[in-house]
Structure 1
Amino acid sequence: MAMQGLAVLIDILVMITQVLVMLIIVQFLIGLAFAFNVVSPSNEFLRQVYDSIDRLLTPVLRPIRNIMPNTGAIDFSPLVLILGLQILIRVLDGIQRSY
């Protein structure tokens, strides 16, 4: 019974990490659309979506940004977070398979 509870907990953590990865990708794509004028930065709907995702991700990305060296205009912290989340998913998957 405890093993089943652990499996459910691991599944929930995997889903949360997958949602975070999707949010990072969506924010990146909207940022690119703004940067290359594919979509006007004054588009209120996309600006709200971008700002909302930014408010969700900033607390997670801030510690990574504090550790990483300043690379100028390119922010690699989302990539580092995605890699870390993917490693977490693999570790959790390995734990789940071992039980």
Structure 2
Amino acid sequence: MTTLIEFLLMILGIARYVILIYFALSWLITFQVLNLRQPIVARIWYTMVRLTEPVFAPVRRVIPPMGGIDWAPLVVILGISVIEMLLRQNLYTF
């Protein structure tokens, strides 16, 4: 059972990094440091959107963007942190 929990923790860690990359890319594209007309940037960006949108969409329905700021990545990262804490606390009880 601990192997399953460790696997889940690894998946949550990967998800956290994907969200952080999405967040950084969105800011770089917004401030025109990166350009979506470049094929590699566009391919990475659309891949990140496809990976994160299934997680962000339900959060965006509950918490819409306020003042032009999308709060979905922050809420999802906080949720991942809470799940990780719960899994770590119960890692050795199984």
Regarding TM over 0.5, the answer is: yes
- Is 1:64–2:59 an aligned residue pair? yes
Using the TM superposition, give the Cα deviation of residue 72 of structure 1 relative to its aligned residue in structure 2, in angstroms: 3.7
Trace 1:1-99 onto structure 2 (pairs within 5 A): 6-99=1-94
63-72 or 73-82: which moved more? 63-72
| Identity, % of aligned positions | 28
How many correspondences in the alignment?
94
Using the TM superposition, give the Cα deviation of residue 60 of structure 1 relative to its aligned residue in structure 2, in angstroms: 1.1
Distance (whole Å) between structure 1 residues aligned to residue 64 and residue 36 of structure 2 = 28
Structure 1 runs (4+) deviating above 6 angstroms are none
Distance (whole Å) between structure 2 residues aligned to residue 73 and residue 14 of structure 1 = 32
Q: Deviations over 1:35-69 (max 9, x none)?
A: 11212221211111111111111111111111114
Q: Specify every segment of 5 or more residues in structure 1 that has no aligned partner in the other structure, as ranges.
A: 1-5
Using the TM superposition, give the Cα deviation of residue 98 of structure 1 relative to its aligned residue in structure 2, in angstroms: 3.3
Q: Specify every segment of 5 or more residues in structure 2 that has no aligned partner in the other structure, as ranges.
A: none
Please tell me the residue identity of whatever aligns with 1:75.
D
TM-score of the superposed pair, with normalisation by structure 1: 0.86
Q: Which one scores higher on RCO, CA 8 angstroms, separation ≥ 6?
A: 1
